Copies of this chain bind each other. A is one copy, B any other.
Amino acid sequence: MALTERKLRILEAIIRDYIESAEPVGSRSLSKKYELGVSPATIRNEMSDLEEMGFIQQPHTSAGRIPSDKGYRLYVDKLMEIKQTANKNRVRIRSDILKKYGELEQLLEYTSRVLSEFTQYTSIVLAPQVKKSRLKQIQLARLSDETMLAIFITNTGLIQNPIFKIPADMKHEELEKISNFLNEEFAGSTLEEIEVRMADNLKKELAKFHNTVYALLPEMFKALEQVSDVTLYLSGTTNIFNFPEFNDLAKARSFLNLLEERKTISELISRQDSDYLNVSIGTENKIQEAKECSIVTTTYSLDQQTVGQLSIIGPTRMDYDRVMSVLSQVSKMMNQILKEQ
């Protein structure tokens, strides 16, 4: 069966209406509300076809139709056009974020908040991946007789301070020497590059330092990598209560449970490198508990390198136009802000 122009228009109307109302859409109300130029009976016939093709479905025999995941997919890929958020809003987003900008963490947290407030869904912001950041500066500082603090500052504004044990007999000057050496050697490199160099020829050069340093280095970089790979900022989790499809306690609970574990979240928002908007609809999600949700994800970059992600999660009945528009704008702004730094 062919997807005629008229079928597409009807499908679009159904999806628009359902996104707005959350109620199954009937033929009569459809013909009244939208100028389709045909009678309810005709719409019924078309709807019957659309159902057969899998784009819409009936909750029960005598109800209207609701879009299926396949329907939303078609809508997102072909029918929808991303609205340009009105200029006023755009400016407001911009200055809102800038106003609060201090450290990276605050920027991320605030971005997350802005995203959830603007979309009214739940937002997830992933901090820059350390792997892809360049080390800007390394500092070592003694904390106590047996511990030292390593400070890593990256080009993304990420600051990490892992703590390590060191031998009590290591002198202050020695620490400083090592610190200088590390800076000369590694500043400007990514972790990936460092790994390669570590495996290579570095061993000899390190030999001139205290033995433990050599043992410590891999540990240091590993710690750096691990800690921040899971750093994320959530906002608007309770917005889920605004949606009738989660009016069921079990569903609301399952959604919130999903978000309570970092591990599940990062499974959900699998790292992506493409810098365009990625949409995962309902059953396209791998995790069982998210089969009634849609997730829209985009990235933000620094130096042409994708470093982190911005996501919105909500019901499959999501206002894709708006969400995608807000996400793409906020992403552009983050790119700019990070560049300005």
Interface residues of A (CB under 8 A from B): 102-103, 136-137, 139, 141, 143-144, 149, 151, 153, 159, 161-163, 223, 237-238, 241, 247, 249, 252-253, 256-257, 260, 341
| A contacts with B: majority SS | mixed
Besides A103-B161, A237-B260, 5 new A-B residue pairs in contact (Cβ under 8 A), listed by A number: A102-B162, A139-B141, A149-B159, A241-B253, A249-B252
Q: Are A237 and B256 in contact (CB under 8 A)?
A: yes
Q: Are A102 and B260 in contact (CB under 8 A)?
A: no
CB distance from A8 to the nearest CB of B (A): 37
Whose C-beta in chain B lies nearest to the C-beta of A105? B227
Q: Are B161 and A161 in contact (CB under 8 A)?
A: yes
Q: A249 to B252: give the CA distance in the assembly, Å.
A: 9
Q: Which residues of chain B are within 8 angstroms of A151 by Cβ–Cβ distance?
A: 139, 141, 151, 161
CB distance from A339 to the nearest CB of B (A): 13
Q: Which residues of chain B are within 8 angstroms of A153 by Cβ–Cβ distance?
A: 141, 143, 149
How many copies make up the complex?
2
Q: Which residues of chain B are within 8 angstroms of A159 by Cβ–Cβ distance?
A: 149, 161
Q: Which residues of chain B are within 8 angstroms of A137 by Cβ–Cβ distance?
A: 141, 143
Q: A165 to B142: give the CA distance in the assembly, Å.
A: 26
CB distance from A77 to the nearest CB of B (A): 34
Q: A137 to B252: give the CA distance in the assembly, Å.
A: 46
Q: A159 to B149: give the CA distance in the assembly, Å.
A: 10
Q: Which residues of chain B are within 8 angstroms of A238 by Cβ–Cβ distance?
A: 253, 256-257, 260
Q: Which residues of chain B are within 8 angstroms of A249 by Cβ–Cβ distance?
A: 241, 247, 249, 252
Q: A330 to B223: give the CA distance in the assembly, Å.
A: 27
Q: Which residues of chain B are within 8 angstroms of A102 by Cβ–Cβ distance?
A: 162-163, 223
Whose C-beta in chain B lies nearest to the C-beta of A256? B238
Q: A260 to B163: give the CA distance in the assembly, Å.
A: 31
Whose C-beta in chain B lies nearest to the C-beta of A139? B141
Q: Which residues of chain B are within 8 angstroms of A163 by Cβ–Cβ distance?
A: 102-103
Q: A247 to B250: give the CA distance in the assembly, Å.
A: 10
CB distance from A261 to the nearest CB of B (A): 10
Q: Which residues of chain B are within 8 angstroms of A162 by Cβ–Cβ distance?
A: 102-103
Q: Which residues of chain B are within 8 angstroms of A103 by Cβ–Cβ distance?
A: 161-163
CB distance from A240 to the nearest CB of B (A): 9
Whose C-beta in chain B lies nearest to the C-beta of A147? B341
Q: A24 to B144: give the CA distance in the assembly, Å.
A: 58
Q: Are B136 and A143 in contact (CB under 8 A)?
A: yes
CB distance from A153 to the nearest CB of B (A): 6
Whose C-beta in chain B lies nearest to the C-beta of A136? B143
Q: Which residues of chain B are within 8 angstroms of A237 by Cβ–Cβ distance?
A: 256, 260
CB distance from A9 to the nearest CB of B (A): 37
Q: Which residues of chain B are within 8 angstroms of A223 by Cβ–Cβ distance?
A: 102
Q: A162 to B102: give the CA distance in the assembly, Å.
A: 8
